[in-house]
């Protein structure tokens, strides 16, 4: 069989022990190769409900990284390589020999690291609103308009308030971009109701995993067919980073979507899921691994 034509699991959110840490995992059964979804900074698994619901019957695995949501906070920060190893152990726990991997924002770095570490287990790669890591093109200067709001001062004094709904609704458009928030700042509230505010150590630990980590030296050696999704009006991740990823990953294509940084969960979850489904369901050309590494990056279609 094609590894996993039917992925059997109990559709439930559970906590499993991985490398001595309790990780909260959501296992959604379905048909086809399972999709391992890596969340963004500070985001628990429920935040991506709009995208997962739009994926229909596709099986999906997602988990709270250590310290986020219902997962146990480690005593010290974990490197990106260790987090990728934990993702591999989640696959082993569910007896998965092959998955597709999708990563959003911070989770895009984890997805890249996992694809590099275990190319035999990662069939296809989807990168959304992400970058090559610590060495990246900074955001456009207009993002500073968000920080001109006087309500950032309490955040500076108490970082735990960073994820408070009142603040994010107030600065949402200036921070994330996108026409949805420009027309209706309150549109962010349903997503924020799903957000479990992380602790300050958890936020710092997750950022520390990116410190010194960069995929630039080895992007050209990735062998997976890769779909890169970018929001045209993303203010958090400079779109130039997505162009760099497309240029350096040998078998990659770039798709632009109308929306800001939150396009997979707010601006266009159904359209995002549609592009993902078309890409994941397509039969890739059989290209020798050595040939994939040498072929030039394709231009965006």
Tell me the C-alpha distance between 252 and 132, whole Å: 14
41 SS3 class: coil
Tell me the C-alpha distance between 112 and 221, whole Å: 11
Cα–Cα nearest to 31, from 5, 56, 70, 12: 5
Cα–Cα nearest to 223, from 251, 242, 246: 251
Tell me the C-alpha distance between 117 and 180, whole Å: 37
Residue 71 falls in the annotated catalytic set: no
User: Could you say which of 105, 131, 199, 214 is catalytic?
Assistant: 105
Place of tokens 């739009």: 54
Q: Are 213 and 80 in contact (CB under 8 A)?
A: yes
List Cβ neighbours of 64 (8 Å cut-off, separation of 6 or more).
23, 24, 25, 39, 44, 45, 70, 71
List Cβ neighbours of 138 (8 Å cut-off, separation of 6 or more).
238
- E strands present in 146-197: none
- The catalytic site residues sit at 105
């Amino acid at each position: 069989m094609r590894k996993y034509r039917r992925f059997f699991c109990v559709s439930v959110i559970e906590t499993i022990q991985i490398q001595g840490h309790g990780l909260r995992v959501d296992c959604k059964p379905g048909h086809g190769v399972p999709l391992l979804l890596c969340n963004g900074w500070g985001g628990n698994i429920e935040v991506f409900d709009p995208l997962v619901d739009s994926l229909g019957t596709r099986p999906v695995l997602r988990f709270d990284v250590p310290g986020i949501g219902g997962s146990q906070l480690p005593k010290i920060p974990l490197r990106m390589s260790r987090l990728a190893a934990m993702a591999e152990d989640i696959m082993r726990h569910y007896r998965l020999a092959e998955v597709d991997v999708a990563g959003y924002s911070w989770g895009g770095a984890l997805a890249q690291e996992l694809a590099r570490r275990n190319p035999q287990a990662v069939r296809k790669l989807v990168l959304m609103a992400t970058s090559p890591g610590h060495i990246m093109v900074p955001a456009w200067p207009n993002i500073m308009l968000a920080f001109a709001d006087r309500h950032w001062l309490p955040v500076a004094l108490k970082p735990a308030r960073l994820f408070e709904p009142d603040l994010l609704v107030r600065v949402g458009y200036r921070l994330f971009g996108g026409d949805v928030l420009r027309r209706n700042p309150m549109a962010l509230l349903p997503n924020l109701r799903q957000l479990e505010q992380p602790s300050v150590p958890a936020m710092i630990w997750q950022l520390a995993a990116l410190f010194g980590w960069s995929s630039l030296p080895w992007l050209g050696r990735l062998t997976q067919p890769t779909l890169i999704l970018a929001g045209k009006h993303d203010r958090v991740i400079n779109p130039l980073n997505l162009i760099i990823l497309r240029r350096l990953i040998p078998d990659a294509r770039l798709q632009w979507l109308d929306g800001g940084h939150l396009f997979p969960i707010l601006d266009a979850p159904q359209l995002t899921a549609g592009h993902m489904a078309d890409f994941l369901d397509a039969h890739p050309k059989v290209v020798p691994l050595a040939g994939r590494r040498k072929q030039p990056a394709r231009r965006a279609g």
